[in-house]
Structure 1
Amino acid sequence: MSSSPSRRMKIGDFLLRRLEEAGVRHLFGVPGDFNLELLQQLQDTGTLKWIGTCSELNASYAADGYARLNGLGALLVTNGVGALSAINGVAGSYSEHVPVICICGSIPLRSIDRGLGMHHTMADGTWDRFLGAYAQVTAAQARLTPHNAVTEIDRLILTAWREKLPVYMELPSDIAYLDIEVPAAPLMLAEPPSDPERLRSCIAAIAGRLSAATSPAILVDLDADRFGVASEVMGLADKMQVPVAMINTAKAVIDETFPHYLGIYNGKASKPHVHEAIESSDCLLSIGYRPIEVTTGDVTASLPVDTIRARGHSVDVGDDNYQAVTLKEVLRGVIDAVPHVSNRTPRHVAAAAASTHADGSAKLTQAAYWQAIQGYIRPGDVLLVDNGTSYAVFGLNLPPKCTFVGSVNWGSIGYSVGALLGTLTAAPDRRHLLFVGDGSFQLTAQELSTILRHDHKPVIFLINNGGYTIERGYLGKTEHYNDIANWAYADLPKVFRPDTSARSFVVKTSRDLQNALSAPNDTMIFVESIMDPYDAPAAVISSSNSGADIDYGPRGPQHRGNVQLRPATYDG
């Protein structure tokens, strides 16, 4: 028996207390009979604020968006039907390295012990199917019991926070009100200290190679944000006058006005100065680099063979692998160990986007649209981007302290609408801009009602171009399978909340767009922009064209005439 001070608490109350101690202030989800007892405990204690969503899938997206700004997020679902509805979003959190805690109110232990049939199951006497399903998309899983609740609740929360990955816990509905002995001390979120010798050796190896290099460079992926080391990366780059590039998943992680910021590295699709700096570096330090075709110019990236590969808890330097080291400690040690450099040959840095005057009465084009958006973004904005033509945001130059939120690795369309609820909940004092296409929006549009219900004031930019434009770039330019129903999108705020003060705009010209952009943001702004279904950013369409060749191979249907969108008027 531990000698540490303890107290008695109900299992559900202890779980809610631990979430609060870990910094979680809100719980997203959908009520179901197997989780109502925990919801009642939440109501009785006031520990967290409940944010009910329209579906479990949207709750998982919201928890993901919340965690990206808050550091940790949580959702509550019910057995089977709720858990499987949420699993796509939780899988996205795994792919995107986002720490989310999925709590599932589940079958009573009484029923498991006695083999009693229950609803929301396969009706075959099995109980572990959903634990097995979540084992594929989470870092840790557990079914809570009165005997393991203390250990497993702490283990799962700490695992999510330390590994920056989701976890899954099942809370049987008949144990939440049982009293158990729990620690009196609060849960402490802390990284286990690095192995001293491994840390010293790792720092020395990296510092030695950087110091000896003539053209060092740094390449940043999203883990620089997840593990909170952006300031260390910039500190190292500033001390050694080293250029820094980002993978598009890490958009805005490095301040794009930072003097040593180069731009986005995307294989052969990179700008020449970025391509040259990264691929010809004689000492490239990569932070959490995980290449996929979307982040490597369709598998054209070619990093130097001796690239230093730093991850959250391990580092590769040449033939040596360093375990039991934390990324922040490594980078801080390297900053202290390397010399200050003041005479390195300057590199090119990201140039400001060119500005041209658009004909205000002309039909709105993608080129004019994104040029206007560039001028609208301001420091501190949270930008949420869905898959599709909204990926043009990658080509914009962002001011300081912006946050980019997207599902780039996982690529789940509709993610951004649910995630917007999460980011608004986590940081209500910041301005949130959602960039979404009509096809993506239709998957999760109902969550707009929850955003309105909580009086949030985002600016929603929706492109109405009649379907899945990015898919038209792959295949089926004119095929009906890429078409969708045409909604009156700008009317939806009024439909979802008849007493709303939201300002809606239907935009068809550049002048219309400028009028919308000048509206005061003291309430929700919803901008529906009507565009040609075959107009899309050249970079997005080129990527889709190349993606079709990767997906379908040399015998694929993409080689037929006029079956793909092709870049034409926009190369932003």
Structure 2
Amino acid sequence: MSSIPTLRMTIGDFLLRRLGEAGIRHLFGVPGDYNLPLLQQLYDAGPLEWIGTTGELNASYAADGYARLNGLGALLVTNGVGALSAINGIGGSYSEHVPVICICGSIPLRSIDRGLGMHHTMADGTFDHFLDAYAPVTVARTRLTPRNAATEIDRLILTAWREKLPVYMELPSDIAYLDIEVPTAPLVLSEPPSDPERLRSCITAVAGRLAAATSPAILIDADADRFGVAPELMELADKLRAPVAVVNAAKAVIDETFPHYLGIYGGEASAPGVREAIEGSDCLLSIGYRPIEVTTGDFTAVLPAGTIQARGHSVDVGNDNYQAVTLKEVLRGVIDAVPSVASRAPRDAAPAMEGKQAYGSAKLSQAAYWQAIQSYLRPGDVLYVDNGTSFVLLGLKLPADCTFIGSINWGSIGYSVGALLGALTAAPHRRHLLFLGDGSFQVTAQELSTILRHDHKPVIFLINNGGYTIERGYLGKTESYNDVANWAYAALPKVLCPDTSARSFVVKTCGDLQDALRAPNDTMIFVESIMDSGDALAPVIVSSNKGAELDYGPRGPHRRDDVQLQPAAVD
């Protein structure tokens, strides 16, 4: 007989209680008949605030953006149509290692038991299709029942938090109001303790390698942020006087004003000093490194032999693999174990974007635009990038305490608009700057209405250049398939919220842009910048050209004359 104190609660109330205990204060989503019982419970007594979105895809993006600043995020969808609409965003959370809890109000349990056909299903008598669909993009899945709800709710929430990956749970619509016995104790988000011997041995091995090195270095991927170890990594780098670089998916995870921060490492795409420090290190400590073409300069990254590979719950040191350890405990032990280094030859950091800022009536160009943006940034900003020429943001030098949010590995266009809603909800006290192009914006533009509805005050920088400029660097420089319809973007805040106080600007010259940047940010600012469809900075075009070579091979259509943007076109 269990001695754990219990009480009786409805399944829905217990789920909402556990989400609140896990630090989730808001729930994103779209109402549907199967999830209305839980939604009503939230409105009756739940500890969460409902943020209704214009669609489930945007709800999944919002939950992802929320989780990046809050540690966990959640969304509520309905069976089938809602679940599949959200699955792209959940796939992005899986790719980017973001812990999101996707709750699906599903068909009644009695219908499953009796094999009754219901709407929002395939009408084939099979009820596990959507659980199966979520298998590749989640770390855990379940269908709640009165028998398993008390344990499964806790299991999925803890799994999402510990693994930094999304989970999916179906809540049948006829069980949310059923009473079950649940623990009285609150849910505690904690890592299971490391195996003492494995932890000691791992710390000894890592610290020994670092202490013996003459040119140690640290390379960081996004998991340093997900597992909350950036402070430990900077403390270790400072103690060793070791340089630190990040892959582009980890932009701003390390404070870019930190004295030992070098910049972004991506093989041949790196600044020379960054590449030399990483590839020439005699003891490289990598954190959560997951190489793909986007983060390795098209597979030109070459990490030194014997690189220490540290992950959230395991570490490779040479031929030895250490399981049952947690990253934070390992790093804390290594910091304590390594001796301080008084001095070491300094490394040159990657240079910030160069060039003179343009003013007045000069036609706005990408080069002038990003120079002005560099001067506009300030400490504590949250910056969002979407796929396109806005990737130039990766090359800017960020002030202290900034956060960078993007879908670098997954690369889903339109992600940033939904993510903006989520992160604004998590941290409304910070300044939020969204950078995207017209093509990305058109995918999820409707969520601007929700941002306005909640009176958020982001600054939105939209480049109107007539379509997918980054794709023109791959293929179809002048083809219509890379065009998008021309909207009156700056007019949209008034269209979506007629009584808004948002300030909108249509920018065509450098002087226009400076006027927009001087506007007070006491309301939303929407800046639509008109630029040529072929205008992009050389790094963006070179990256697209190389991407085409990887994607299409030696017989691809990109080998024809004059079908790609080329760097010379914007020199």
Q: By the TM > 0.5 criterion, same fold?
A: yes
**Partners of 1:298 and 1:218 in 2: CA distance:** 21
User: Which residue in 1 is equivalent to 2:538?
Assistant: 538
Partner of 1:441 in structure 2? 441
Tell me the residue number matched to 1:140. 140
Structure 2 CA distance for aligned equivalents of residues 462 and 42 of structure 1: 36
Q: What is aligned with 1:197?
A: 197
Give yes or no for contact 2:273–2:350 (8 Å, CA) kept in 1: no
Letter in 2 for 1:260: H
Q: Is the 8 A contact 2:220 2:289 kept in 1?
A: yes
Question: Shift of the alpha carbon at 1:354?
Answer: 3.0
Q: CA deviation at 1:175?
A: 0.2
CA contact (8 A) 1:109 1:175 kept: yes
Amino acid at match of 1:44: D
Correspondence for 1:111: 111
| Secondary structure class of the residue paired with 2:103 | strand
AA partner of residue 250 (structure 2) = A
Task: Return the alpha-carbon distance in structure 1 between the equivalents of residues 570 and 139 of structure 2.
Answer: 42
Q: CA contact under 8 A between 2:357 and 2:372: conserved in structure 1? A: no
**Counterparts of 2:343 and 2:531, CA distance in 1:** 50
Deviates more, 1:296-305 or 1:347-356: 347-356
Contact 2:18 2:187 in 1 (8 A): yes
Q: Which amino acid aligns with 1:106?
A: S
Aligned residue for 1:428? 428
Q: How does 1:357-506 map to 2 (within 5 A)?
A: 357-506=357-506
**Deviation string for 1:54-87 (max 9, x for gaps)?**
0000000000000000000000000000000000
Separation (CA, whole Å) in 1 of partners of 2:543 and 2:569? 16
1:119-170 Cα deviation digits (max 9, x unpaired): 0000010000100010110000000000000110000000000000000000
User: How much has 1:569 moved relative to structure 2?
Assistant: 6.6
Please give the secondary structure, in 2, of the residue aligned with 1:136. helix
Q: Deviations over 1:478-533 (max 9, x none)?
A: 00100000000000000000000000000001100000000000000000000000
What is the letter of the counterpart of residue 404 of structure 2? F
Q: Which amino acid aligns with 1:218?
A: I
- Separation of aligned partners in 2, 1:570 and 1:344: 41
* Counterpart AA for 2:209: R
Change in 2 beyond 3 A, CA 1:357/1:105: closer
- Matched residue type, 1:15: L
Matched, 1:58 2:63: no
Name the SS for the 2:105 alignment partner.
strand
Amino acid at match of 1:369: Y
Residue type of the alignment partner of 1:205: A
* 1:449-486 residue CA offsets vs partner (Å, 9 max, x unmatched): 00000000000000000001111010000001000000
8 A Cα contact 2:102 2:166, kept in partner: yes
Unaligned runs of 5+ in 2: none
| Counterpart secondary structure, 2:411 | coil
Q: What is aligned with 1:39?
A: 39
Read off the aligned partner of 2:429 and give its amino acid letter: D
Instruction: For 2:230 and 2:263, locate their aligned partners in 1 and report how far apart those are by CA, in whole Å.
Output: 15
1:271 aligns with 2:271: yes
Aligned twin of 1:309: 309
CA distance in 1, matches of 2:89, 2:305: 35
CA distance in 2 between counterparts of 1:389 and 1:97 reads: 24
**Change in CA separation of 1:570 and 1:260 when aligned onto 2, cut-off 3 Å:** farther
Task: Give the superposition deviation at 1:114.
Answer: 0.6
CA contact (8 A) 1:368 1:510 kept: yes
How far apart are the structure 1 equivalents of 2:512 and 2:330? 51
SS of the residue aligned with 1:268?
helix
Tell me which moved more, 33-42 or 349-358.
Answer: 349-358
The residue identity in structure 1 corresponding to 2:45 is T
2: CA distance, partners of 1:426 / 1:394: 23
Q: Aligned partners of 1:237 and 1:355: how far apart in 2?
A: 31
Cα distance in 2 for partners of 1:20, 1:426 equals 14
Q: Deviations along 1:254-311, whole A, 9 cap, x unmatched? A: 0001000011001101000001110111100000000110111111101012100000
The match for 1:348 is 348
CA distance in 2, matches of 1:490, 1:242: 46
CA distance in 1, matches of 2:358, 2:453: 37
For 2:380 and 2:389, the matched residues in 1 are separated by 23
Counterparts of 1:228 and 1:359, CA distance in 2? 41
* 1:297 partner letter: G
Structure 1 counterpart of 2:162: 162
Unaligned runs of 5+ in 1: none
1:236 alignment partner in structure 2: 236
Matched-pair contact (CA < 8 Å) for 1:508–1:529 = yes
Q: Secondary structure at the match of 2:441?
A: helix
Alignment check: 8 A CA contact 1:218 1:284 kept:
yes
Contact 1:503–1:526, Cα closer than 8 Å, also in 2: yes
Q: Is 1:100 aligned to 2:97, yes or no?
A: no
Q: Aligned letter for 2:187?
A: L
The match for 1:548 is 548
- C-alpha displacement of 1:47: 1.4
1:537 Cα shift? 1.7
Post-superposition shift, 1:355? Answer: 4.5
1:327 and 2:327 matched: yes
Number of residue pairs the alignment of both structures matches? 571
In 2, distance between residues paired with 1:395 and 1:22?
A: 36
Between the two proteins, what is the percent identity of the paired residues?
A: 81
- Residue 565 of structure 2 aligns with which residue? 565
Q: Please state how far the C-alpha of 1:411 moved relative to its aligned partner.
A: 0.2
Contact 1:230 1:254 in 2 (8 A): yes
Deviations 1:87-126 (A, max 9, x none): 0000000000000000000010000011111000000100
Letter in 1 for 2:467: G
Residue 198 of structure 2 is aligned to residue 214 of structure 1: no
The one-letter code of the counterpart of 1:526 is F
CA 1:569–1:262 in structure 2 vs 1: closer, same or farther (change >3 Å)? Answer: farther
Alpha carbons of 1:57 and 1:565: their partners in 2 closer, same or farther (altered >3 Å)?
same
Query: The residue matched to 2:434 in structure 1 has which SS?
Result: strand
Matched position secondary structure for 1:299: coil
2:5 is matched with 5
* 1:347 shift after superposition: 1.3
| Paired residue type of 2:85 | S
Alpha-carbon distance between aligned partners in 2 of 1:219 and 1:129, rounded to the nearest angstrom: 40
In structure 2, the residue matched to 1:22 is 22
Shift of 1:351: 3.6
537-546 vs 401-410, which deviates more? Answer: 537-546
Describe the superposition over 1:165-190 as per-residue Cα deviations: whole angstroms up to 9, x where unpaired. Answer: 00000000000000000000000000
Which amino acid in structure 2 is aligned with residue 64 of structure 1? D
Any conservation in 1 of the 2:271–2:350 contact (CA below 8 Å)? no
Give the Cα–Cα distance (whole angstroms) in 2 for the partners of residues 296 and 352 of structure 1.
Answer: 20
SS in 2 for 1:294: coil
What CA distance in whole angstroms lies between the structure 1 residues aligned with 2:402 and 2:357? Answer: 26
Residue 287 of structure 2 is aligned to residue 287 of structure 1: yes
C-alpha distance in structure 1 between counterparts of 2:169 and 2:305, whole Å:
41
Deviations 1:38-64 (A, max 9, x none): 000000004100000000000000000
Root mean square deviation of aligned Cα: 0.8
* Cα distance between partner residues in 2 of 1:353 and 1:409: 24
**Contact 2:359–2:514 (CA under 8 A) maintained in structure 1:** no
**Are 1:174 and 2:177 matched, yes or no?**
no
Q: Cα distance, 1:358 vs. partner?
A: 1.3
The one-letter amino acid of 1:157's match is I
Q: Distance in 2 between matches of 1:283 and 1:469?
A: 40
Contact 1:259–1:349 (8 Å) recurs in 2? no
**1:570 CA drift (Å):** 5.9
The residue type equivalent to 1:70 in the other structure is N
> Could you tell me the TM-score, scaled by structure 2's length?
0.99
Counterparts of 1:276 and 1:183 in 2: how far apart (Å)?
55
Once residues 76 and 182 of structure 2 are traced to their aligned partners in structure 1, the CA distance between those partners, rounded to angstroms, is 22
CA distance in 2, matches of 1:431, 1:310: 33
